[in-house]
Structure 1
Amino acid sequence: MNNKQKGISLVLIATVFWGIMGISSRILYEAGLSTMFIAFSRSFLSSICFFIWIMITDRKILKIDPRGLAISALYGIGTFALCFIGYNLSVEYIPISVATVLMFTNSIWVTIFGVLFFGEKFNMKKGSVILLTLVGCIMVSNMSLGHFNMSAIGIAAGLGTGFLFAFQIIFPKFFSDYRKDTLLIYGYIFASIFIGLFTDFKESFNIIANASNIGMVILNILSIGILSTFISNTFYIKSTEYIEASVTSILASMEPVLSSIFAFFIFGEVLNGKQIVGAILIIIAAIILELKLDKERINNVFKLKFIKSKLIS
């Protein structure tokens, strides 16, 4: 298997695991487990996996000072914890495919944050893409004459998840004196602690013990924490070592499509024509932005090489 095949395989596996996340969340919710317990399971299991991975690869990542711990606590609670809770909440109230598409608006928020906080230029292309996304959100939310035809709570939770997911990406840039992996592992730990404070473990364990299919419940708990969070994120990042970031982003855009397919076969969820068009608009907007960002990264690399060559000569 050559590098290109490795990269494509890794990102496709990651995309499939992301695609089943909504399915696992819905199955656990229908089994009687609370939003908080599902979010805790996801955060706690991924924390354990990430910690083991760090112990094997680079233990220096665990070094941190009190200021770093405070930053990590803010990072974990303000982004991971609320993002996990928001996604599970959206899956409870609206179709899985819609929840996934709304989460996919994160690249738009990243663009807005870049303009607001990092002095990036706002041009007509970015404005058009954001407008395209807004139209897509209105269509996929099945909104008509100013009224939602599905749960406003679910829609708000889905959009909030996209916002917080984007902030997960932006947050470490404010604290570049700390390694991203360091903030990540402690962020997960603090997220687990925070969610755990609001989780009824006794009730949750009783529900699991009395479940009609306890094996299926446990399997989906492991799936949402290990497959859909730790492995998918790790594989996605690893794939960029073998293929271009633009290719990775385009392949990852299949996530909402896979979620819709899985939701159709397992729960019989069907989107109407307007919602399908809206979902396509959001995906196209995300791809356009990712391609633009990738082009900017490449240009920056060439500029850096040119400057270095001039300095050497």
Structure 2
Amino acid sequence: MLKKISPLLVICSTLLWGGMGIVIRYVGTMEANTFQIAAIRLLISAVFLVLVLLIVDRNKLKIKLKDFPWFLLTGIVSLCLNNIAYSETTRRANLSVAVVLLYTAPFFVLIMSILIFKEKLTWIKALALLLSFVGCMFVVGVFTSGMEVKATTILIGLVAGFCYSLYTVIGKVLLKKYDSLTIVTYTFIVAAVTSSLIAGPSATFTVISNHPEKLPLAIIGSILTVALPYILYSKALTYMESSAASIIASFEVVAASLYGVVLYNEHLHITNILGIGMVVGAIILLEARFLKKN
């Protein structure tokens, strides 16, 4: 059953990821800086995931020590370094440019999947990748921004995209040994510890203790937009090609854009709507291919 609906699991994860900006803005009202916001969200998610495993199946907390370096990669590189590089890109360029550079991730995933997992590059997959990427560019309005971007900024943005792609690839490797929930939990434990050290444990605790009234919504928001989507995405990777899952995940850009329209009265132009159509078209192509294979 889960195999048949795995593309839907990815779409559900993107709908939740798309709301991440809402939570980031809310946690930001706690007078937290970029690193503290990331640390708070990751800490909440890590605690939640550990509690879930303690209640549901404690055996899933067992891993082999020799595999721990893989979790260091997913936690430090895929989450922490990705967050830092993405934040730096948004500081140097506008958000639309940062988002597009982040979503070069499917290109990296496709290349690594061909080399590591021996996936075949089909015309449908190539067309879907092109549609989703160009669609993302239209959705965020990069063609109308008229902004010149320095080579250093592009490089940092590509680092964010590469780090983002590593979770999909390494997650696929780890799924051969561990349950998806185990992978997500240890990834977030490592990421939470690393981000807390970067943000400063005492400073982060001070932010939380100064705004206890905002903590309940911060907890709910972090679980819904960080922990839960990673659980769904990792479960989908069990049954899907990593490249296809990564391309479908670009729907996050569409979801975030639609949330902006509904919650912040942002307007969609004809190019934005065209971009949404292209991303949806890419998903339909991959969904039809997936159903045909299964």
Structure 2 length normalisation: TM-score? Answer: 0.71
Query: How much has 1:76 moved relative to structure 2?
Result: 1.3
Residue 65 (structure 2) aligns with: 66
8 A contact 1:43–1:192 mirrored in 2: yes
2:131 equivalent to 1:125: no
- The AA in structure 2 aligned to 1:25 is I
- Out of 270, 289, 302, the residue aligned to residue 286 of structure 2 is 289
In structure 2, C-alpha distance between the alignment counterparts of 1:98 and 1:126, rounded to whole Å: 24
Judged with a 3 Å threshold, the aligned counterparts in structure 2 of structure 1 residues 272 and 236 are, in CA distance, closer, same or farther, namely same
Judged with a 3 Å threshold, the aligned counterparts in structure 2 of structure 1 residues 189 and 251 are, in CA distance, closer, same or farther, namely closer
Per-residue CA shift, 1:152-196, capped at 9, x if unaligned? 999877765554443212113335663144343222111111111
2:158 equivalent to 1:173: no
In structure 2, C-alpha distance between the alignment counterparts of 1:149 and 1:170, rounded to whole Å: 32
Residue 19 (structure 1) aligns with: 18
- The AA in structure 2 aligned to 1:139 is F
In structure 2, C-alpha distance between the alignment counterparts of 1:261 and 1:163, rounded to whole Å: 26
Judged with a 3 Å threshold, the aligned counterparts in structure 2 of structure 1 residues 292 and 157 are, in CA distance, closer, same or farther, namely farther
Please give the secondary structure, in 1, of the residue aligned with 2:281: helix
Please give the secondary structure, in 1, of the residue aligned with 2:199: coil
8 A contact 1:104–1:283 mirrored in 2: no
In structure 1, C-alpha distance between the alignment counterparts of 2:111 and 2:27, rounded to whole Å: 34
What value does the CA root-mean-square deviation take over the aligned residues?
Answer: 4.5
Judged with a 3 Å threshold, the aligned counterparts in structure 2 of structure 1 residues 227 and 130 are, in CA distance, closer, same or farther, namely closer
Residue 75 (structure 2) aligns with: 76
Judged with a 3 Å threshold, the aligned counterparts in structure 2 of structure 1 residues 136 and 77 are, in CA distance, closer, same or farther, namely same
In structure 1, C-alpha distance between the alignment counterparts of 2:55 and 2:130, rounded to whole Å: 45
2:224 equivalent to 1:223: no
Judged with a 3 Å threshold, the aligned counterparts in structure 2 of structure 1 residues 144 and 46 are, in CA distance, closer, same or farther, namely closer
8 A contact 2:135–2:277 mirrored in 1: yes
Please give the secondary structure, in 2, of the residue aligned with 1:198: helix
8 A contact 2:139–2:254 mirrored in 1: no
- The AA in structure 2 aligned to 1:228 is T
Judged with a 3 Å threshold, the aligned counterparts in structure 2 of structure 1 residues 258 and 52 are, in CA distance, closer, same or farther, namely same
Q: State the structure with more CA Rg.
A: 1
Judged with a 3 Å threshold, the aligned counterparts in structure 2 of structure 1 residues 219 and 273 are, in CA distance, closer, same or farther, namely farther
**More deviation, 194-203/261-270:** 261-270
Judged with a 3 Å threshold, the aligned counterparts in structure 2 of structure 1 residues 259 and 99 are, in CA distance, closer, same or farther, namely farther
Consecutive unaligned residues of structure 2, counting only runs of 5 or more, are 239-244
- Aligned residue runs from structure 1 range 62-141, under 5 A: 62-85=61-84, 94=94, 106-107=105-106, 109-141=108-140
8 A contact 2:26–2:218 mirrored in 1: no
Structure 1 length normalisation: TM-score? Answer: 0.68
Residue 266 (structure 2) aligns with: 269
Query: How much has 1:46 moved relative to structure 2?
Result: 1.4
Query: How much has 1:199 moved relative to structure 2?
Result: 0.2
Residue 198 (structure 2) aligns with: 198
Per-residue CA shift, 1:122-176, capped at 9, x if unaligned? 2333333333334334434534599537999998777655544432121133356
Residue 187 (structure 2) aligns with: 187
Judged with a 3 Å threshold, the aligned counterparts in structure 2 of structure 1 residues 239 and 38 are, in CA distance, closer, same or farther, namely same
Query: How much has 1:198 moved relative to structure 2?
Result: 1.0
**More deviation, 257-266/84-93:** 84-93
Residue 245 (structure 1) aligns with: none
Per-residue CA shift, 1:50-102, capped at 9, x if unaligned? 1111122222222223212222212211112233445666777755x887787
- The AA in structure 1 aligned to 2:50 is F
Consecutive unaligned residues of structure 1, counting only runs of 5 or more, are 242-247, 299-313
8 A contact 1:90–1:99 mirrored in 2: yes
Judged with a 3 Å threshold, the aligned counterparts in structure 2 of structure 1 residues 137 and 254 are, in CA distance, closer, same or farther, namely closer
- The AA in structure 2 aligned to 1:264 is V
